[in-house]
Structure 1
């Protein structure tokens, strides 16, 4: 029996491929073109792939709606440009409510009323926002959440007294255009633990001056803890990435829940920052949190379906869900389950990451100020006055706290 020559096999393969493509095209034609939703977020690389695999593919399969995803590390700039061009994405996911509040005030967001049960979330996660001339509506919901106010360690559990030496602390501040944010997290957390959630919320909303003694004390406490003014040490902090390894028994790191895997591989654990921050006040113990918030920018029905899907407690969101009805992920370990509980459970005092809840201009200036403070701690008064000039009063639910 003669074997077909290679050229014959190639021709046959091409014919079969064309036939298959024709059948597939016929099926697609019979089904009709799918509707699409455009989605803009900051996730890139592996984070974007995980979100696509865990969340978006299931939505596309279940609803027959294609999601055109764009991830950008310059999220604020891209969204502002799209808005100015009159071509916003259908849905945008932003880190924190600061920019979203400005867009809501400008009438650029669509209300989410009726798309999900707001009672499934703590009020600070999905608040009702009053907008002049437009009434009060819900404009965003959390897609991914993170816990802060954590101090990671190996070896002996740290205390205020034992954690005081700057050389014990790992701190990397480099992150491209957003360099400095690990420092803002720390200043914010010190203020939250020393002054309490009420003063903290007033500061975030522009009702408490940056020159207030409580704010100044938070800056000086942080500077003393990490060694501000130490030329060699500061140079290392400014050039080290925020996710750099922090190894060795006795090392400490003030960083969020995304660092759990890194520390667990070293046999590490965490304590609430209130147990380590000097002069924590009587209302210490609140948790600083952050989250990626989804907002609707067009009235497109397919986009509304995506919002409903993201709010469904059965949707397998990555990391930690703030939805009280979401079942714990059976694949999580004890530390991860504890973190998830703190983010969802009733009775916890949770406060927004302050810089994420501030207007964009002030947030960016805050990032730069912490970098300068490490280099020139003696210039603190000047820096605080400059930041205070950017202060804008706003009305935002900063803390989910029954004591407020």
Structure 2
């Protein structure tokens, strides 16, 4: 072996070692400092969300769980919160903000791209602590194409209803009550009740009347009430949601725009929607507003990578990719809907004219929200058992929980908007 050849071999070996060292360093950097994210999305939606995150080029570690509240609380108490949390519970996020756990999001997104009620600060705080990264429309009813319902209150046998959920059961029942309060009493009363403003709102006539209307609907068929109590709101796996299940004979579903994910791609194309107002028990002919719900991202750390990830996700481009990848909806008004008539209807209601009100239970303190869920479950359970639902007592119980809550500086100033 010549001296020149030995030198060439030596240089090649050194280059390979250097290259290997660079790979290890980059790999270690990515592995050591991923942005940790805690959310509720699992299964297909988790896969789609990870695909969007990978496009940002920022190392991340995502955990999706139905037990998000418990997981987050344990992590915070252990002093190891995730960098980012994504959750629908604004009431819960407000508590963490009041406890100084959340970091302000100013300059991380363009507020003008988000209309009300998505864009706001707290009651007394001037900071913004969350931004919606997914939105959904409520106050709508799904039906199978070609079977448009009459514009009059529908009997219980027409409704596909399930109270079950992997996380907190009972919220589908609270959606009925919230929608009844909104459509009957209007956005002003709805907002005061949702925010727990001074007064005995839980025992007020608008809330009590809405609750009684829902109970009377359930009392039309106690067997169906029992079935609803034992049914998951998504239906059985691989049965295309309750509306397309084919086993229950129901034709209408009071669900948000996320219901299409239960139906699957094939059956979602056969679903159509109308405003819920004329179909609700004793509801008005025209909608007085629409409930909306969202999944909001909040920062528990000030790490630059975490801030950049939220900035990318909340941007018009990030929201457009998320909407296109997972067929979800955005509160960002710059995001274009796909070429689908039903999706355009949803986007028009999410971002168009008319009052939009955040889901009331999402805004409430967690203790009040949980009491609300429990009261809704007890109502349907008592009806199914041929008992008096005892609505006045249930409402008094929730009111006592409301009364025990401390002031909430970071709670949203408003719940409804006409913008």
Provide TM-score, normalisation by structure 2. Answer: 0.82
Separation in 2, partners of 1:237, 1:114: 46
In the alignment, structure 1 residue 150 sits paired with structure 2 residue 140: yes
CA offsets 1:28-55 (integer angstroms, 9 cap, x no match) = 23647234211111111221111111x1
Deviation at 1:360, TM superposition (A): 0.8
Deviation at 1:224, TM superposition (A): 2.1
In the alignment, structure 1 residue 51 sits paired with structure 2 residue 40: no
After superposing the two structures, state which structure 1 stretch, 381-390 or 36-45, moved more.
36-45
CA offsets 1:130-161 (integer angstroms, 9 cap, x no match) = 45xxx411110011111111111235432453
Question: Residue 330 of structure 2 aligns with which residue?
Answer: 321
Equivalent residue of 2:141, what SS?
A: strand
Deviation at 1:258, TM superposition (A): 1.6
Equivalent residue of 1:389, what SS?
A: helix
Deviation at 1:73, TM superposition (A): 1.1
Deviation at 1:398, TM superposition (A): 4.2
Question: Residue 314 of structure 2 aligns with which residue?
Answer: 311
Cα contact 2:111–2:119 (8 A) shared by 1 = yes
Distance 1:295 1:322, change over 3 A: same
In the alignment, structure 1 residue 242 sits paired with structure 2 residue 233: yes
Cα contact 1:324–1:344 (8 A) shared by 2 = yes
Cα contact 1:313–1:323 (8 A) shared by 2 = yes
Distance 1:228 1:22, change over 3 A: farther
Question: Residue 33 of structure 1 aligns with which residue?
Answer: 29
Cα contact 1:40–1:93 (8 A) shared by 2 = yes
Question: Residue 140 of structure 1 aligns with which residue?
Answer: 130
In the alignment, structure 1 residue 338 sits paired with structure 2 residue 345: yes
Deviation at 1:103, TM superposition (A): 1.0
Deviation at 1:175, TM superposition (A): 1.1
Question: Residue 295 of structure 2 aligns with which residue?
Answer: 292
Aligned-residue CA RMSD (Å): 2.5
CA offsets 1:201-229 (integer angstroms, 9 cap, x no match) = 1000112510001101111111222x238
Distance 1:113 1:172, change over 3 A: same
Equivalent residue of 2:253, what SS?
A: strand
Distance 1:101 1:28, change over 3 A: same
Cα contact 2:378–2:389 (8 A) shared by 1 = no
Provide TM-score, normalisation by structure 1. Answer: 0.85
Separation in 1, partners of 2:414, 2:162: 27
Separation in 2, partners of 1:354, 1:400: 10
- Partner of residue 214 from structure 2, selected from 222, 230, 252: 222
Cα contact 1:129–1:137 (8 A) shared by 2 = yes
Deviation at 1:232, TM superposition (A): 2.0
Cα contact 1:109–1:139 (8 A) shared by 2 = yes
Structure 2: give runs of 5+ residues left out of the alignment: 1-15, 236-241, 383-387
Q: How does 1:1-400 map to 2 (within 5 A)?
A: 25-29=20-24, 31=26, 33-34=29-30, 35-53=33-51, 55-60=52-57, 65-131=58-124, 135-154=125-144, 155-161=146-152, 163-207=153-197, 208=199, 209-225=201-217, 227-228=218-219, 230-244=221-235, 245-247=242-244, 251-260=251-260, 262=263, 264-265=267-268, 267-280=270-283, 284-315=287-318, 316-317=321-322, 318=326, 319-329=328-338, 332-345=339-352, 347-376=353-382, 377-391=388-402, 392=405, 394=408, 395-400=411-416
Separation in 2, partners of 1:113, 1:282: 42
Q: Number of residue pairs matched?
A: 370
Structure 1: give runs of 5+ residues left out of the alignment: 1-20
Distance 1:101 1:379, change over 3 A: same
Equivalent residue of 1:269, what SS?
A: strand
Cα contact 1:196–1:284 (8 A) shared by 2 = no
Question: Residue 12 of structure 2 aligns with which residue?
Answer: none
Deviation at 1:121, TM superposition (A): 0.6
After superposing the two structures, state which structure 1 stretch, 148-157 or 356-365, moved more.
148-157
Separation in 2, partners of 1:230, 1:348: 35
Separation in 2, partners of 1:98, 1:234: 30
Question: Residue 15 of structure 1 aligns with which residue?
Answer: none
Cα contact 1:246–1:253 (8 A) shared by 2 = yes
Distance 1:22 1:179, change over 3 A: farther
CA offsets 1:320-377 (integer angstroms, 9 cap, x no match) = 1111122333xx41101221232223x2311111111111111111111111111325
Deviation at 1:231, TM superposition (A): 3.6
Distance 1:95 1:22, change over 3 A: farther
